[in-house]
Structure 1
Amino acid sequence: MTTLTDVAATPAATHRMTSRQRLVLVLLLGVQFMLAIDFSILNVALPVVGEGLGFGLDSLQWIATAFALPAAGFTLLFGRVADLFGRRRMLLAGMALLAVGSLLGGLATSPALLLTGRVLQGLATAIATPAALSLITTSFTEGPLRNRALGLSGALMSAGFTTGAVLGGVLTDLLSWRWAFLINVPIAVFVLVVAPLVITEARSATGAARGGRLDVPGAITVTGGLLALVYGITAAGERGWSDPFALGALVLAAVLLAAFWFAERRAPAPLVPLRVLAKRTVTWGNVGGFIAFATETSLVFLMTLYLQQVLGFSALATGLALGVLGAGTFAGGVAAPRIMTRLGGRWTLAAGLALQAVATATLLGLGTSRDGLALMLIATAVGGFGNLVAIVAFMGIATSGLPDHEQGLATGLATMTQQVAITLGIPVMSAVLTAAHGGGILGGIHAATAVNAALTLTGAVLAAVFLRRPATTGATPGAED
């Protein structure tokens, strides 16, 4: 039988994609790419947005936070709702909400309207991302075909973060920052028209059998806990770890997440069955994925500071330079399925993180001269390759061994891991940089880069150690490797 740790060695499902599967995959990949772009498309345009609408310098971060809080906090809930009430239905709801939020943000005449648009975009991401990912995993059985689909998904999602930075700079320079919002509207409308014609899945049979029951106490506690956690760490990164609001939010997060654990133990139909969390694939796959997303997205933040504040690059030039990293990540996503077929999920995750750690460590050689630009470009491309290999392995591992009616839960957990990691990675690295700022901006960047590389290497070790096959399993010899 298939082991817990190897999602790629199953010989089944090696047939080619059908025409319908290709159409479904292209549509869902386009949705995920657009949602990934929304994370970063406004980053380089924040000062321009602030000037245009009257944001104070100390409130600019709320343009990003207003998106990140709902995107991270509600993902797990909506992933489970998709299991119960239909994944296609939730995908369409997310696209409709994205169109409304993007239109509101693009036409905003005040900070309040723009932030409302960003909140709606974040909610749309929390609704649509796990729905799209679970539609991918349920459209392809475990094995090479699903690995290929997940590889393309991971490549485009990661490339979307980098593309967002480039696209945001181009749109802001050539047109207006408002197009960073408005560009979503026609794409969302297109998906709303085409998806019902292409995607036939509309309702989970298990959800129907249960009458659409939802674990309300679990939903309230985990959503509140995640919102408090994201807000607390974001606030701590901005105002320091002694800030009373940050500390209060972190304490509240701990209380609510503990309450969630106890609620799940007693719930007749839990939001997250504890037996699912007890699976090694789910637990340690998500740990590896969290480290992969948190370290790479925060490294982009560090390299943005390096290019702009140390080398003096413009926002547009910075985005273009980081496009090399995007090329590396895309190549990693394309290569990852073949690597998983040869190595298995466990070693692919560990190897990808190890390569990323080594590439990140070489960035400690960067100095104040532009002569080091070639080093940065090569290292970020190689690190991006390793990062995407790890991310594809994480997606495959974290969604393996579960029936179709729990794929929304599995992909909701995986997407929550991604969203929370993206949100928390930058504040944590920013805090490290600030603490080491006595040695100058370059010294702070070096300190944060060293911590980043150490965390990534730790993730590789954890994946290799804890994703081992249990000694009692009767799995085929060598399948875990």
Structure 2
Amino acid sequence: MPGPALPSPSTGAPAASAPSAHGRRAPSGPRAGLVLATACLCQLIVTLDASIVNIALPAMGQSLGFGDSALAWIVNAYALAFGGLLLLGGRVADLAGHRRALLAGLALFGVASVLGGFAQTPAQLIAARAGQGVASALLAPISLTLIMVTFAEGAARARALGVWSMVTAAGSAIGVLLGGVLTDLLDWRWVFFVNAPLVLLAVVLALRSVAIARPVPGGRLDVVGAVLGTGAMSVLVYGLMETGRHPWGSTRTLVTLGAAVLLGLAFLGWEARFASAPIVRLGVLRARTAWSATVIVTLIGAAMLVGFYFCSLHLQNVLHYGPLAAGAAFLPFCAGVMAGSMAAGRLGARFGGRATLTGGLLLAGLGMLWFSDLGVDSGYLTAFVGPSVVTSAGVGICMVANTAMGTSGVARHEAGLVSGLLNAGRQCGGSIGLAVLSSLAVAATRNAAEEGRAPLEALAAGYDRAFVVTAVLLAVAALIAVLFVPGPAPKAAATGDASAR
């Protein structure tokens, strides 16, 4: 249901839309379009970088002399900094102002990218990747925050989120293709240098569209909360990343994950009882829209990353696709996400947010279940394209519907907080899902091998088990949507406060 327009100090243009609950008007027209372009370009930079580096890892290792274990830290350093700092990044955006935080994030990302391109040792490259992760932890929440404070709830925000989600999907697919092209035709260093023109363009757009916001009255950073929250997220992400080398039942894994739980409990206790200006106001999560959206996006994040990961492994390890061919094989998936994202707004207007979200989750779950039929003899056109389109269309629909629901009724000074929560949920969901389902897939592969199945058949059986569990995760998310997401409000209350839902 459309709610009151949110205030928008992030733009300076007069507006023709209805006044917000704070007496200000949401911008419209060319300035709002520039804000959307800025938000989408920042999101493209983040998603592109997350995938463009992966395909160049062997070339990086050979050029700089990485050992097998050290090479993984090119990815891990980014993931650790990004996942650990997302909550802090969202709150910093609220306190420092969106334009100031955005420009700082872009500057750091540009510098880290150039340093990564010129790196001469493994340590220098890993440090550059960590810098990119810190910058991404600022840029990812801000890109969503700009949409929240610029576009009023309802059709306008749904359309903007559709474009934003479409760019997110395109960035992942383009990153795989571009990484292969740059590495093959030029050099692996260009997967870093290519960020420079994108960052410069984003800075120009930000300076033209995002106005300097007034500081939040009485706003200050909760240092203790920031340390505890960042520590909990970082230790959790690190522990999950290390499960590939240390079993779940090992002392190291149990101690690491236990420390993450203790830090998380300490963070919640501090925020609830002692923090005068909490980095995460826990009252935000009392609204069903906020906590249910965070739980659902965590499950979606797990499904997306796990599905993408195991589809890629099946193409390369079972069907023997090369990296570039595997990247190109995901183009139907990218197209499906784009189509679903753009259709989500119209579906929401016709059927309501809860029905649209539930339908998208179920559609994605059916696609994942379809993927579980992949085998050694499965052809690309007959067995891969179909589930790719079904899954990706469902993902596009549910991502937009869930984000629109989770960002409804949010005050401007907490927009970055909610954006950080949603991004952190998706990142943690992906890390947890990948760690858990990788272990399940390995176990299923081992059991199939012990039953006497051929190596490739055993490998495919492990991947199929992961797809089935991923479908179950999406079904659980759909059940949460049915039980807890608020339904359409009565017409008489259509103009009421969104926070009352």
Q: Work out whether the TM-score is over 0.5.
A: yes
Structure 1 stretches of 5 or more lacking a match?
5-10
Pick the aligned partner of 1:448 from 461, 466, 476.
466
Give the TM-score normalised by structure 1: 0.92
Conservation of the 8 A alpha-carbon contact between 2:296 and 2:480: yes
Q: For the structure 1 residues 372 and 78, does the alpha-carbon distance in structure 2 shift closer, same or farther, using more than 3 Å as the test?
A: closer
2:374 is the alignment partner of 1:374: no
Taking the aligned partners of 1:472 and 1:183, their CA distance within structure 2 comes to: 51
Q: Once the two structures are superposed, what CA deviation does each residue of 1:431-464 show, in whole Å capped at 9, x if it has no partner?
A: 1111112222111111111111111111111111
Conservation of the 8 A alpha-carbon contact between 1:98 and 1:120: yes
- Matched residue, 2:243: 236
Taking the aligned partners of 1:402 and 1:17, their CA distance within structure 2 comes to: 19
- Matched residue, 1:203: 213
How many residue pairs end up in the alignment? 470
Q: For the structure 1 residues 473 and 222, does the alpha-carbon distance in structure 2 shift closer, same or farther, using more than 3 Å as the test?
A: farther
Give the TM-score normalised by structure 2: 0.89
Q: Quote the offset at 1:197 in angstroms.
A: 2.2
2:480 is the alignment partner of 1:462: yes
Taking the aligned partners of 2:363 and 2:117, their CA distance within structure 1 comes to: 40
Q: Which amino acid aligns with 2:371?
A: L
Conservation of the 8 A alpha-carbon contact between 2:3 and 2:152: no
Pick the aligned partner of 1:385 from 393, 399, 402.
393
Conservation of the 8 A alpha-carbon contact between 2:26 and 2:152: no
Query: 1:60-209 alignment to 2 at 5 Å?
Result: 60-200=71-211, 202-205=212-215, 207=216, 209=217
Q: For the structure 1 residues 297 and 197, does the alpha-carbon distance in structure 2 shift closer, same or farther, using more than 3 Å as the test?
A: same
Conservation of the 8 A alpha-carbon contact between 2:344 and 2:397: yes
Conservation of the 8 A alpha-carbon contact between 1:345 and 1:393: yes
- Matched residue, 2:221: 214
Q: Quote the offset at 1:12 in angstroms.
A: 6.6
Q: Quote the offset at 1:160 in angstroms.
A: 1.2
Q: Once the two structures are superposed, what CA deviation does each residue of 1:122-153 show, in whole Å capped at 9, x if it has no partner?
A: 00100111112111110111111011111111
Conservation of the 8 A alpha-carbon contact between 1:359 and 1:380: yes
Conservation of the 8 A alpha-carbon contact between 1:3 and 1:475: no
Give the stretch that moved more between structures: 56-65 or 143-152. 56-65
Q: For the structure 1 residues 204 and 369, does the alpha-carbon distance in structure 2 shift closer, same or farther, using more than 3 Å as the test?
A: farther
Taking the aligned partners of 1:145 and 1:194, their CA distance within structure 2 comes to: 21
Q: Once the two structures are superposed, what CA deviation does each residue of 1:215-272 show, in whole Å capped at 9, x if it has no partner?
A: 1221111110000111111111343213333222211110011011111112222111
Taking the aligned partners of 2:290 and 2:345, their CA distance within structure 1 comes to: 19
Taking the aligned partners of 1:73 and 1:345, their CA distance within structure 2 comes to: 31
2:48 is the alignment partner of 1:41: no
Q: Quote the offset at 1:15 in angstroms.
A: 10
2:447 is the alignment partner of 1:429: no
Query: Percent of aligned pairs with the same residue?
Result: 39
Pick the aligned partner of 2:323 from 310, 315, 330.
315
- Matched residue, 2:14: none
Give the stretch that moved more between structures: 380-389 or 239-248. 239-248
Q: Which amino acid aligns with 1:222?
A: G
- Matched residue, 1:8: none
Q: Once the two structures are superposed, what CA deviation does each residue of 1:275-298 show, in whole Å capped at 9, x if it has no partner?
A: 101111111111111111211121
Q: Once the two structures are superposed, what CA deviation does each residue of 1:182-229 show, in whole Å capped at 9, x if it has no partner?
A: 1001221232234212221x2355x1x10x311122111111000011
Conservation of the 8 A alpha-carbon contact between 2:26 and 2:151: no
Q: Once the two structures are superposed, what CA deviation does each residue of 1:413-436 show, in whole Å capped at 9, x if it has no partner?
A: 112122223333322221111111
Q: For the structure 1 residues 196 and 470, does the alpha-carbon distance in structure 2 shift closer, same or farther, using more than 3 Å as the test?
A: closer
Conservation of the 8 A alpha-carbon contact between 2:366 and 2:390: no
Taking the aligned partners of 1:161 and 1:333, their CA distance within structure 2 comes to: 15
2:313 is the alignment partner of 1:302: no
Structure 2 stretches of 5 or more lacking a match?
5-16, 20-24, 449-457
Could you say which structure has the greater relative contact order, defined with CA pairs below 8 angstroms and 6 or more residues apart?
1
- Matched residue, 2:32: 21
Taking the aligned partners of 1:445 and 1:322, their CA distance within structure 2 comes to: 17
